[in-house]
Structure 1
Amino acid sequence: MERDGEGGGVRVRALIGASPRAIGARPLNPDSRARAQVRLLDWIQELATDIAETLAPTRPRPEIDTSTPDDTPADPYADATALLERERASIAANVRRAARTHLPHAVAILRTLQPHLMVGDNLSDWRHTHETVRAAAVAAHGLSSEAVAHAGLAQLHHHLGDLDETLKSAHLATTLFRTTADRRGLAEVLLLLGTQYSKTGEHELAVARAREALTVQTDIDEPALAARIHLQLGTDLNEADDLTPALSHLTAAEQTFQRLPDHRRRAQTLLQLGRLARRQGQADDAAAYLREATQLHTHHPANHGQTVAVLLELSEVSLERRDYAEAVLRGRETVGLCRSREDHVSSVRAHVTIVRAHAATRQQAEVWAESRRTLDLLDEIQDEVNNYVREQFTKLGLWPDP
């Protein structure tokens, strides 16, 4: 593991020195073993901090040099992701072991890695680890530790799509964080609740929780957390048609993510700014935001769904701007990325945009061929997207007769 100068980032090469498994395997007397375990946990905490800071910077820092001495491009994000997945089982096992004897260390490591529990296929392992820490915290009457464990469980349940368990764990964490006056923890779990309510379409509740989170974090120096709250609040206000404050929150988020820099969350914010500008009828501004987001996705890939969403949005707004060449180009890029059932709606919408662009430029052969391909994608399950295709194709005289 190498640090990159003053930037504070981490460029992962190989683990130098003893690994957790090697340290834990040494035959030691009880006192020496206890000291070795503390050193091991400190080492894991440092590793977790480096990984977390690389995946999502929390403090402003200079850009990291992403080229190796032989000019081979390097990707610290991909390296950190690979390292976390490779070491995840060892880290989780050591955290579970430490829960019995060094609970604060175990909790600190979990708290550092909680924003990144979704890396790899590891949800069940992390859930088992959080449940072990929660049980140890209850036995030790450690309210702060229990709160962190419940917050992690809420996040895991959220990603697993278990609404009831998400709300149960999140509300328990909220109560405990209020009791222990942990403002950062409280703001984090309120933000999670806002995200959950947004996911279920309850935007008024989502806005209320995000606003509470913003108020709670006012007195703590956590710029990345504040930016995440601004992003969530701006997104939900946009959904609720409260566009002026939505723009204010999204702008604040984008400026912070640019300063950190957190390229992936900045791209996510630019997508929301593009959608907002489009709703306001400002197609040129929307295109500028979305092109910048596209560039960030190109140089800092991470989220397939976000990349598809940005390209689709840019294709559609290009059509509105009568930039038909870009509409077709971005539409085809969208289709090229749509490989799974989850991408079905995006793929159909992109095909429709391509058809409309060809129709606008009177390329009838392309219109006919593309419309046939689009109709072949339809099924009886996707009523919403089918209705969208029917509406657009009827206008163009392309919808087949009964």
Structure 2
Amino acid sequence: MHIEPTLSVAAATALDGTSSETTRAHLNALRALHLIGSHGHGYTMDTLTRAAGERIAMKVDPSDSRARAQVRLLDWINEFATDIAETLAPTRPRPETERPGSEDESRDSHADATTSLERERASIAANVRRGARTHLPQVVAILRTLRPHLLIGDSLRDWLHTHEEVRTAAIAAQDHGSEAEVLAGLAQLHHHLGNPDESLKSAHVAVTLFRTTDNQRGVAEALLFVASHYSTIGAHELAIARAREALEIHADIDQPALAARTHLQLGTDLQQANDLTAALGHLTAAADTFQRLPDHRQHAATLLQLGKLARRQNHPDKAAVHLQKSATLHTHHPANHSQTVAVLLELSETSFEQGDFTEAVLRARETVGLCRSPEDHVSSVRAHVTLVRAHAATGRQADAWTESRRTLELIDEVQDEVNEYVREEFTKLELWP
């Protein structure tokens, strides 16, 4: 019934419909007969044995018994997915008794959840595909729960195939609500796979279907995705309009995490549109919510934006406080690489503005050390400029000259505005050739 070659004890217990002790006894009996083997966190069965077992099951086990087992397995997958999702990105405030006892414990629980999801991912996708036509609401609930975490592992194509199969089943059942949920997932998958037109098309159809089925949460989430898409391509006014539309819906629904993500998106785009006062209000609201949940990674992302905003308002001391908190959160709760680089870079430049040249050099060198991919090239150039400026400010002219030569070797590969930034700063220091 499980489809995939490896079966965990928890999944086997769901299929068996008994206790974990009874299930372990059954599994050990099968292993003693060499019908299954053990491997890491689960049990395995070879292809020929599986085929024989399937033929026997179809002949001996009543169809309603197999159907109940499938329901139990899907219910377990849904519970598993919910637990994983709440660990990776909390959506509700947790009682103090349920929170990790230390930063290391919190980091370990996040890493454990990621590993568990990677381990069960193929099995989940396969069982979702199999259950699409017979248990559509259950499999759609699983996909909705895992939607924010589809990037974990190297499995985007498999998830795309899975979503497409479930959408076909939803269309056949004329279930517009389920189709909308699947389209929301497809929008994200196409975005990550580099198909922006398909991504935006899926998101717009999802919004329409969510409205048809009066799913306000779905509308708000899909609009937020559209806002994020427009923000990515620099269409900040369109992003602001969609995010504001999404935020209006939150007056009628109780989704604090989704509302906070909307505030973060809106605050980020308002800052790009130079509406700094409004941006501050939305970013502060987002930070307060993420701290209560607690969603440390989203909190770190919000503090980064608050730090950038404080710098633009010429408040380097406030900026340093926000950015230092963000850097600390990144240390204990690693987020994506680009955000970590961005936090360290902003902190190095802010330290220079405060006159703390030692900290500026330290953070700039950390930034350079993390910049290893072409996407990091602009950040690397900016960090080198901070090193040059800090060395020059402390009278270390030889070091400043050496770093400036390294910087000039880098700027041929980046866009014109970065070249102009380097030219302007180095001309002030009489280091431009």
TM over 0.5, shorter chain: yes
Paired letter, 1:315? S
* Counterpart residue number, 1:6: none
> Which of the numbers 84, 91, 100 marks the counterpart of 1:51?
84
> Which of the numbers 60, 65, 73 marks the counterpart of 2:100?
65
Paired letter, 1:393? F
* Counterpart residue number, 1:91: 124
Q: Is the counterpart of residue 158 in structure 1 residue 151 in structure 2?
A: no
Change (3 A) 1:72 1:119: closer
Change (3 A) 1:252 1:380: closer
Change (3 A) 1:354 1:20: farther
Paired letter, 1:155? Q
Stretch moving more, 134-143 or 58-67: 58-67
Tell me by how many angstroms 1:113 deviates. 0.4
Q: Deviations over 1:164-196 (max 9, x none)?
A: 111110110000000000011110000000000
2:100 and 2:106 in contact (8 A); partners too: no
Paired letter, 1:200? I
Q: Is the counterpart of residue 192 in structure 1 residue 225 in structure 2?
A: yes
Paired letter, 2:333? H
Tell me by how many angstroms 1:73 deviates. 8.5
Change (3 A) 1:381 1:277: closer
Distance, in Å, in 2 between the alignment partners of 1:48 and 1:139 is 26
Tell me by how many angstroms 1:384 deviates. 2.7
Paired letter, 1:17? A
Paired letter, 1:375? L
* Counterpart residue number, 1:305: 338
Aligned pairs for 1:247-258 (under 5 A) are 247-258=280-291
> Which of the numbers 274, 288, 293 marks the counterpart of 2:326?
293
Q: Is the counterpart of residue 235 in structure 1 residue 279 in structure 2?
A: no
> Which of the numbers 73, 94, 105 marks the counterpart of 2:138?
105
Paired letter, 1:164? D
> Which of the numbers 229, 254, 261 marks the counterpart of 1:221?
254
Q: Deviations over 1:248-283 (max 9, x none)?
A: 100000000000000000000000000111111111
* Counterpart residue number, 1:372: 405
Distance, in Å, in 1 between the alignment partners of 2:301 and 2:290 is 10
Aligned pairs for 1:252-401 (under 5 A) are 252-400=285-433
1:150 and 1:172 in contact (8 A); partners too: yes
Paired letter, 2:347? L
* TM-score with structure 2 setting the length: 0.85
Tell me by how many angstroms 1:371 deviates. 1.2
Distance, in Å, in 1 between the alignment partners of 2:197 and 2:423 is 37
* Counterpart residue number, 1:3: none
Change (3 A) 1:15 1:291: farther
Paired letter, 2:305? Q
2:107 and 2:333 in contact (8 A); partners too: no
Number of corresponding residues? 385
Paired letter, 1:317? T
1:267 and 1:297 in contact (8 A); partners too: yes
Q: Deviations over 1:357-399 (max 9, x none)?
A: 1111111111111112212222245333222212211221111
In structure 2, the gaps of 5 or more residues are 1-6, 17-49
Distance, in Å, in 1 between the alignment partners of 2:237 and 2:105 is 49
Distance, in Å, in 2 between the alignment partners of 1:233 and 1:244 is 12
Paired letter, 1:312? L
Paired letter, 1:95? V
Which structure has the larger Rg?
Answer: 2
2:385 and 2:404 in contact (8 A); partners too: yes
Tell me by how many angstroms 1:74 deviates. 6.0
Aligned pairs for 1:7-26 (under 5 A) are 16-19=9-12
1:66 and 1:74 in contact (8 A); partners too: no
Change (3 A) 1:67 1:315: closer
1:21 and 1:90 in contact (8 A); partners too: no
Q: Deviations over 1:137-182 (max 9, x none)?
A: 0000000000001111011112223221111101100000000000
Paired letter, 1:18? A
- Counterpart of 1:301 in 2: which secondary structure? coil
Distance, in Å, in 2 between the alignment partners of 1:84 and 1:180 is 31
Change (3 A) 1:382 1:17: same
Distance, in Å, in 2 between the alignment partners of 1:275 and 1:72 is 30
2:15 and 2:70 in contact (8 A); partners too: no
Stretch moving more, 25-34 or 45-54: 25-34
Change (3 A) 1:39 1:254: same
2:85 and 2:146 in contact (8 A); partners too: yes
Paired letter, 2:93? P
Q: Give identity over the alignment, percent.
A: 70
Distance, in Å, in 2 between the alignment partners of 1:73 and 1:142 is 39
1:66 and 1:75 in contact (8 A); partners too: no
Distance, in Å, in 2 between the alignment partners of 1:229 and 1:82 is 28
Q: Is the counterpart of residue 30 in structure 1 residue 63 in structure 2?
A: yes
Tell me by how many angstroms 1:22 deviates. 7.5
- Counterpart of 2:412 in 1: which secondary structure? coil
* TM-score with structure 1 setting the length: 0.92
